[in-house]
């Protein structure tokens, strides 16, 4: 059941990214180009996604259990804004602005055999491997970045 739910959740996300245009680097860059021909449509897509996820998280917290089983629901703990978070966010933003892709749309682009998305995803994987090697560890699931 979990695998089937994960498959349909991923399929829904992928179709949503395609329909919203988030896998189009030109559309993403148009959204980020505030000084040029700004395209605000992706802001509405992100706002809609935020509303849906906020409602889902509120429901999950009230329920206290996962939607697919009886396990207690454990959400990540809040963590302070630190240097690693700020540097990571800045690198993500620069990469998104330069390439017009972020990881989710990049993977969807790979699935539909977009050459740009394949190059982006390969570069992303190399960057992740270099970061993992340079940091020597991954942050824990609980959000403890400096522990």
Q: What is the pLDDT tens value at each position of the chain, 147 positions in all?
A: 778 888 998 899 889 888 888 888 888 888 888 888 888 988 898 899 899 989 988 888 888 887 776 678 887 888 889 988 898 889 888 888 888 888 888 999 899 999 999 999 999 899 888 888 876 655 554 444 444
pLDDT value of position 137: 58
Give how far Cα 137 sits from Cα of 1, 8, 122, 146, Å: 32, 31, 21, 11
Q: Which residues contact 27 (CB under 8 A, 6 or more apart)?
A: 21, 39, 41, 42, 100
Separation between Cα atoms, residue 42 and residue 23, nearest integer Å:
11
Does pTM top 0.75 for this prediction?
Answer: no
pLDDT at position 23: 85
**23 burial type by CB count under 10 A (0-12 exposed, 13-18 middle, 19+ buried):** buried
Neighbours of 29 (CB within 10 A): 16
Query: What pLDDT is stored for residue 138 in this prediction?
Result: 56
In this predicted structure, what is the pLDDT of residue 139? 54
């Amino acid at each position: 059941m979990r695998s089937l739910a994960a498959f349909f959740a991923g399929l829904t996300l992928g179709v949503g990214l395609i329909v919203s245009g988030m896998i189009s680097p030109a559309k993403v860059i148009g959204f980020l180009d505030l000084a040029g021909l700004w395209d605000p449509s992706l802001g509405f897509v992100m706002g809609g996604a935020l509303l849906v996820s906020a409602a889902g998280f509120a429901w999950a917290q009230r329920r206290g259990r996962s939607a697919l089983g009886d396990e207690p629901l454990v959400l990540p703990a809040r963590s302070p804004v630190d240097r690693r978070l700020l540097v990571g966010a800045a690198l993500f933003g620069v990469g998104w602005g330069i390439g017009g892709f972020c990881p989710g749309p990049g993977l969807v682009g790979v699935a539909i055999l977009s050459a740009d998305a394949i190059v982006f995803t390969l570069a992303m994987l190399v960057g992740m491997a270099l970061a993992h090697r340079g940091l020597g560890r991954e942050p824990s699931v609980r959000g403890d970045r400096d522990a």
